[in-house]
Structure 1
Amino acid sequence: MTVARHVLVTGAAGGVGAACAAAFGANGDHVTGVDARAEQLEALMARLASEHGVRTAAEVLDLADPECGAVVARAAERLGPVDVLVNAAGIYPATPLADMTAAAWDRVQQVNVRAPVLLTVAFAAQGRGGAVVNISSGAATRARPGAAHYCTSKAALEMATKACAVELASSGIRVNAVAPGFITVDSPVNPVTDAYRDAVSRNPLGRPGEAHEVAAAALWLASDAASFTTGAVLRVDGGATAGTTDLPLHHDHATPLQVGGELAS
């Protein structure tokens, strides 16, 4: 019989975070959702409890708070020690470099990098093993206009994933990341234009991803099936990192193979 775990998911009120919370709930795990959007968060937690018979709790929190790590202890008081931490919260405002301010830069780093690290520190302070899954992005390896703060934050999150994996391995804690490509979500917090959606969702599989596909990767990384996996970044991006199908052949006809001065047939 599988023992239900306690999973804490940030950004759980919508998008990938909500999909992760739903996937773990459907798996029979108890879920604490963390988000700044109280109404949506509480509604989702109530639905998961009703549909799956699991225990849930809602923690309303702005993750830019430097004391955000305290939410781990609060969650443990309500539903027991946290077994899995999923850092899914993230913000990606559009800010051209000419308009960048210290406040705009700092808030993205606080929510996207500092909060996952502080929550991981608090998770480890429980003194037990477990798994941490960070949600990164293809932006960690590819810059784009208006997203210098966001791309930098995701590159930093991937390095923080590796650093935490190394330091926490001896504590029995695995730390990994999922890096999605463009995912179809209806987000009032992080809206995108149709033109941006069409451009960024090009990949070899020819379609945007779905939030549940990212959640499935997070569920696997947090499972015993991934027991020998830590410090990894799993790219769930339709093949976008592998390459592009948008380019034509670099020559207008097939080039024969030349071997030792002779043309091979």
Structure 2
Amino acid sequence: MTGLLTGRRAVVTGGAQGIGLAIARRLTEHGASVLIADLDRERAAEAAAGLSGAASVGCDVTSEADVQAVADRAAEELGGLDIWVNNAGVTRDASLKKMTVDDFDLVVGVHLRGTWLGVRAAQAFMREHGGGSIVNISSMSGKIGNPGQTNYSAAKAGIIGLTKAAAKEVAHHGVRVNAVQPGLIRTPMTAAMSAEAMAATEATIPVRRAGEPDEVAGAVVFLASDLAGYVTGAVLEVGGGRGM
């Protein structure tokens, strides 16, 4: 791998598995030191142990204190903070008729509040230390909407508005804020889908297949690197053409 990110210091929330782990792996392969922050401390530690140049920390992204502690730890242990990836997420799918207020609040809290807290903590450090790159993981669900995901779709759409507003606020400090919108990606969450449901969904995608976590990670590496030095407030779809 080329050293696109050699010497950079990164945080990946929800980095213990799935897309987050693929992102953490890709960042380290391109030379970055990575702090994996995840609610599951044990799984985060296992993930970090399998990567060169990675460490781990427990974090509830809905907690202001936890998120700030991650930023402080990255600055202390990694020596700085150049990249922050807001990836942590949960799902609680149900129809409007059956979805509870608690399930709505949980999903919006983790995705939207968690991303906002991450953006706020990361930019505060970056603007004082020469800039950096923040990448927020949204979803195609936030663009096209999915039945049974009014909570998730709303939160992921909100991340786009947050990304653009934050990008405008901090651009003059050398901080870039962008978003990635994955489509159907093979992860532990989508593994729960039946074969019939997976096939039906893939049939709606122009490239006729689900994506891989590593394909999302590649987009994050680009946005985190100097190759995207003039890119901010952008939304990069990684969905095989779904939603065009």
- Structure 1 window deviating more from structure 2 (100-109 vs 204-213): it is 100-109
One of 179, 182, 194 as aligned partner of 2:181: 179
Going by fraction, where is helix more abundant, 1 or 2? 2
Judge conservation of contact 1:5–1:82 (CA < 8 Å) in 2.
yes
Q: Which residue of 1 aligns with 2:60?
A: 62
Deviations 1:158-207 (A, max 9, x none): 1101011000101110000111110011249x843434323333311111
For the residue of structure 2 that corresponds to 1:97, the secondary structure is coil
Q: Which residue of 1 aligns with 2:195?
A: 194
Structure 1 28/164 Cα, relative in aligned 2: closer, same or farther at 3 Å?
same
Residue 216 of structure 1, CA deviation = 0.2
Q: Which residue of 1 aligns with 2:87?
A: 88
1:161 aligns with 2:163: yes
Residue 227 of structure 1, CA deviation = 0.6
Judge conservation of contact 1:178–1:234 (CA < 8 Å) in 2.
yes
- Residue 185 of structure 1 aligns with an amino acid whose one-letter code is T
Judge conservation of contact 2:112–2:158 (CA < 8 Å) in 1.
yes
- Residue 78 of structure 1 aligns with an amino acid whose one-letter code is E
1:36 aligns with 2:34: no
Deviations 1:74-117 (A, max 9, x none): 22122121100011111122122112222211111111011111
One of 143, 147, 162 as aligned partner of 1:145: 147
For the residue of structure 1 that corresponds to 2:97, the secondary structure is helix
1:9 aligns with 2:8: no
Judge conservation of contact 1:69–1:121 (CA < 8 Å) in 2.
no
Judge conservation of contact 2:60–2:67 (CA < 8 Å) in 1.
no
2: CA distance, partners of 1:207 / 1:131: 30
- Residue 27 of structure 2 aligns with an amino acid whose one-letter code is F
For the residue of structure 1 that corresponds to 2:145, the secondary structure is coil
TM-score by length of 1: 0.84
Deviations 1:42-78 (A, max 9, x none): 11111112xxxx2x22111222224333121122122
**Percent identity over paired residues:** 37
Is there any run of 5+ residues in structure 1 with no aligned partner, and where? Answer: 243-265
Q: Which residue of 1 aligns with 2:118?
A: 119
Residue 3 of structure 1, CA deviation = 4.1
| CA RMSD of superposed structures (Å) | 1.7
Is there any run of 5+ residues in structure 2 with no aligned partner, and where? Answer: none
Judge conservation of contact 1:34–1:60 (CA < 8 Å) in 2.
yes
2: CA distance, partners of 1:187 / 1:100: 19
1:218 aligns with 2:225: no
Residue 239 of structure 1, CA deviation = 0.7
